[in-house]
Chain A
Amino acid sequence: MTGVTKAIRRALDVVSGHPLVREIRTLDEHGSKVAVDFVVPMPSRWIGAGQSPAGVRPVETVTFTFDDFFPLAVPLIELRQDFNRSHPHVQPSRTEDPPRPCYFEGDPQDLLRYRGMEGIMVQVADWLEKAAAAALMDFSQGWEPIRRDSINDWVEVDPNFVRGFVNRDGGSAFAVSQHLGLELRSGGHAYAISVEAQRQSLGPDFFRKVIENAAGVGLSVIVWGGKTPSGDPVVSDRYLPETVRTMAELTDRAAHYGLQAQLRAAFGLLQTRFGKSAYNLPLILTLLLVVRRPADVIGQGSPLEIVPYVMEVRSASDLSGSSEVPVRPAAVRDAISRKLLASVSGSRPLEEAQWTLIGCGSVGAKLAIHLAREGRAPTTLVDRSLMAPHNYARHGLVPIPQFPVPDWKADAVARAIQGLGQSATPLHEDLAVALASSPPAKQIWPKATQLLVDATGSPTVTDALCLPQVEAKRPRVVETSLLGRGSVSYMAIEGPKANPSVQDLQAESYRVMADDDTLRELALASASDVVVVGQGCSTRTAQMTDARLSTFVPGMARYLSAALERGLPVQEGELAIGRVDDDLMNQSWQRFTVPAFRRLRSSTGRRASISHSVVELIDSAIADRPHVETGGILIGRFNEATDSFHMVDIVEPPPDSRFSAAEFTLGVEGIRDRLKGYNDRTRGTLYPVGTWHNHLANTPASLTDLATAAALALGQRFPVVLMIRTPGSIRGVIADSDRSGATPAVTIESLEETLP
Chain B
Amino acid sequence: MTASSTHFKVDNGDMHFLATASEKTILIDCNIRSDADDPDGDVPDVAQQLRSRLKRDPAGYLYVDAFLLTHPDQDHCRGLWKHFHLGPVSEWSAKADKIVIREMWSSPIVFRRASKKQHTLCDDANAWATEARRRVKRFRDFGCLSDGDRILILGEDINGKTDGLGAILVRTDSVFQSICGSYQIDFRARLIAPIPPQDDEQEEEELSKNDSSVVVNIELGTFTLSGASHYLFGGDAEVGIWERLWQRNKDAPENLQYDLLAAPHHCSWHSLSWDSWSDWKELAEVSPDARKALGQALSGAYVISSSKPIKDDDVDPPCIRAKREYKAILSDVNGTFECLGDLKGDEPLEFEVTGDGLKIKTRTTALAAPSIIGGLAGAAAGSSSAYGAQPFKHG
Chain B residue nearest to A112 in the complex (CB): B383
Determine whether the beta carbon of A46 is less than 8 Å from that of B382.
Answer: no
A114 at the binding interface (Cβ < 8 Å): yes
> Known contacts A71-B383, A117-B383, A117-B384: does B361 contact A41 (CB below 8 Å)?
yes
Chain B residues with CB under 8 Å of A42's CB are 359
Q: How far is the CB of A19 from chain B (nearest CB, A)?
A: 4
Task: Give complex CA distance A656, B364 in Å.
Answer: 87
Query: Do A118 and B371 contact each other (CB < 8 Å), given the known contacts A41-B360, A44-B335, A44-B357?
Result: yes
Question: Bound complex: CA of A43 vs CA of B361, how far in Å?
Answer: 10
Going nearest first, the 4 A-B pairs with the smallest beta carbon separation are A48-B299, A48-B300, A44-B357, A44-B300
> A48 touching B334 by the CB < 8 A rule?
yes
Q: Which residue of A lies closest to B381 (CB)?
A: A116
Which residues of chain B are within 8 angstroms of A447 by Cβ–Cβ distance?
A: none
Residues of chain B lying within 8 A (CB to CB) of residue A17 = 366-367, 369-370
- Collect the chain A residues with CB atoms within 8 Å of residue B336's CB: 44, 47
- Nearest B residue to A11, CB-CB: B384
Contacts A7-B383, A114-B390 given: A43-B366 contact, CB under 8 Å? no
> Which residues of chain B come closer than 8 Å to A47, judged between CB atoms?
299-300, 334-336, 357
Which chain B positions have C-beta within 8 A of A20? 362
Q: Most chain-B CB neighbours within 10 Å: which of A19, A41, A44, A47?
A: A44
Residue of A nearest to B383 (CB): A71
Given A19-B364, A19-B366, A43-B384 contact (CB < 8 Å): no
**Bound Cα distance from A11 to B361, whole angstroms:** 25
Q: Do A41 and B359 contact each other (CB < 8 Å), given the known contacts A50-B334, A118-B371?
A: yes
> Besides A41-B360, A114-B389, A116-B381, 9 other CB < 8 A contacts?
A17-B366, A43-B355, A43-B358, A44-B260, A45-B357, A46-B357, A48-B301, A58-B334, A118-B371
Q: What are 11 A-B residue pairs whose CB atoms fall within 8 Å in the complex? A: A43-B355, A44-B299, A44-B302, A44-B359, A46-B356, A58-B334, A71-B383, A112-B383, A114-B392, A118-B371, A119-B387
The docked-state distance in angstroms from the alpha carbon of A44 to that of B259 is 7
Is A14 part of the contact surface with B, judged by Cβ < 8 Å?
yes
Cα–Cα distance between A374 and B229 once the two chains are bound (Å): 50
Asked if residues B362 and A43 are in contact (CB atoms below 8 Å), the reply is: no
Q: Does B354 contact A (CB under 8 A)?
A: yes
**Residues in B whose Cβ lies below 8 Å from that of A115:** 385-387
Query: Is B333 in the interface zone, CB < 8 Å from A?
Result: yes
Interface positions, chain A 97-123, Cβ under 8 Å from B, are: 112-119
A612 CA to B356 CA, complexed, in Å: 71
Residues of B contacting A7 with CB < 8 Å?
A: 383
B394 to chain A, nearest CB (A): 11
Contacts of A118 in B (CB 8 A): 367, 370-371, 384, 386-387
| Residue B363, interface by CB 8 Å | yes
Residue of B nearest to A42 (CB): B359
A676 at the interface (CB under 8 A from B): no
Residues in A whose Cβ lies below 8 Å from that of B259: 44-45
Shortest C-beta distance, B187 to chain A (Å), equals: 19
Q: How long is the Cα–Cα vector from A148 to B52 in the complex, in angstroms?
A: 43
Residues of B within 8 A of A44 (CB): 229, 259-260, 298-302, 335-336, 356-359
Q: How many A-B residue pairs have CB under 8 A?
A: 101
A10 close to chain B: CB less than 8 A: yes
Report how far A170 CA is from B389 CA in the complex, Å: 53
List A residues at the B interface (Cβ < 8 Å).
Answer: 7, 10-11, 13-14, 17-20, 41-50, 58, 71, 112-119, 125
A137 to chain B, nearest CB (A): 14
Output the least CB separation between A327 and chain B (Å). 37
B72 to nearest A CB, angstroms? 32
A43 touches B354 (CB 8 A): yes
CA distance A71 to B384 in the complex (A): 9
A115 to B361, CA, bound (A): 22
Q: Residues of A contacting B370 with CB < 8 Å?
A: 13-14, 17, 118
Q: Could you tell me if A48 and B392 are in contact, using CB atoms closer than 8 angstroms?
A: no
Nearest-neighbour CB distance to chain B for A67, whole angstroms, equals 15
Q: A119 — which chain B residues lie within 8 A by C-beta? A: 387
Residues of A within 8 Å of B361, CB to CB, are 41
Please report the C-alpha to C-alpha distance between residue A11 and residue B384 in the assembled complex, in whole angstroms: 8
A48-B335 contact given A17-B367, A19-B364, A71-B383, CB 8 Å threshold: yes
Cα-based distance from A7 to B385 in the complex (angstroms): 12
Contacts of A58 in B (CB 8 A): 334
Min C-beta distance of B360 to chain A, whole Å: 5
In Å, the complex CA distance between A58 and B334 comes to 10
Q: Are A45 and B298 in contact (CB under 8 A)?
A: yes
- Nearest neighbor of A18 in chain B, beta-carbon distance: B367
Q: In the complex, what residues of B have CB within 8 A of residue A10's CB? A: 384
Residues in B with CB closer than 8 Å to A71 are 383-384
A66 to chain B, nearest CB (A): 12
Chain B positions within 8 Å of A19 at CB level: 362-367
Among residues of A, the one whose C-beta sits closest to the C-beta of B391 is: A114
- When C-beta atoms are compared, the residue in chain A nearest to B351 turns out to be A44
Among B300, B334, B355, B386, contact of A116 (Cβ-Cβ < 8 Å): B386
Cα(A43)–Cα(B227), bound, Å:
12
Chain A residue nearest in CB terms to B363 = A19
> Hey, which chain B residues are within 8 Å of A18, CB to CB?
367
Contacts of B392 in A (CB 8 A): 114
- Give the complex CA separation of A7 and B387 in angstroms: 18
| Distance (whole angstroms) from the CB of B330 to the closest CB of chain A | 9
Is B384 within 8 A of A49, CB to CB?
no
Bound Cα distance from A419 to B194, whole angstroms: 79
Residue from B336, B356, B381, B392 whose CB has the most chain A CB atoms within 10 Å:
B356
Interface digits, B370-386 against A, CB 8 Å rule (1 contact, 0 not)? Answer: 11000000000111111
CB contacts (< 8 Å) of A125 on chain B: these are 362
Q: Are B299 and A45 in contact (CB under 8 A)?
A: yes
Name which of A7, A41, A114 has the most chain B CB atoms within 10 A of its CB: A114
Q: Which residue of A lies closest to B378 (CB)?
A: A116
Contacts of A14 in B (CB 8 A): 370, 384
- Bound Cα distance A47, B358 (Å): 10
User: Whole-angstrom distance from the CB of B381 to the nearest CB of chain A?
Assistant: 7
Query: Shortest Cβ distance from A638 into chain B, in angstroms?
Result: 51
A561 to B173, CA, bound (A): 69
A746 to B208, CA, bound (A): 121
What residues of chain A lie closer than 8 Å to B387, measured between beta carbons?
114-115, 118-119
With the chains together, A19 CA to B298 CA distance in Å? Answer: 26
Enumerate chain A residues within 8 angstroms of B363, measured Cβ to Cβ: 19
Please give the distance in Å from A18's CB to the nearest CB on chain B: 7
What residues on A are CB-neighbors of B383 within 8 Å?
7, 71, 112-113, 116-117
CA A45 to CA B297, docked complex, whole Å: 10
- Rounded to whole Å, the gap between the CB of A48 and the closest CB of chain B is 3
A48 and B354 CA atoms in complex are apart in Å by 14
Q: How far is B111's CA from A544's CA once the two chains are assembled, in angstroms?
A: 93
Docked Cα-Cα span, A393 to B47, in Å, equals 70
Given contacts A14-B370, A19-B362, A19-B367, contact A46 B390 (CB under 8 A): no
Say how far B348's CB is from chain A's closest CB, in angstroms. Answer: 15
Q: Decide yes or no: A43 and B367 within 8 Å by CB, A113-B390, A116-B386 being known contacts.
A: no
Name the residue of chain A whose CB is nearest to the CB of B371.
A118
Chain A residues whose C-beta falls within 8 Å of the C-beta of B381 in the assembled complex: 116
A191 to chain B, nearest CB (A): 27
Task: Select B382's contact among A11, A43, A48, A113, beta carbons within 8 Å.
Answer: A113
CB of A57 to closest CB in B, whole Å:
11
CA distance A42 to B300 in the complex (A): 10
Chain B residues closer than 8 Å to A43, beta-carbon distance: 300, 354-359
Q: Which residue of A lies closest to B353 (CB)?
A: A43
Give, as a whole number of angstroms, the nearest-CB distance from B287 to chain A: 25
Q: Within the assembled complex, what's the spacing in Å between the Cα atoms of A144 and B331?
A: 37
Closest chain A residue to B370, Cβ basis: A17
A498 to B303, CA, bound (A): 77
| Chain A residues within an 8 Å CB radius of B229 | 44
Q: Which residue of chain B has its CB nearest to the CB of A14?
A: B370
Q: How far is the CB of A500 from chain B (nearest CB, A)?
A: 39
Q: How far apart are the CA atoms of A278 and B387 in the complex, in Å?
A: 57
Query: Nearest residue in A to B382 (C-beta to C-beta)?
Result: A113
Q: Which of A48, A113, A114, A117 contacts B333 (CB 8 A)?
A: A48
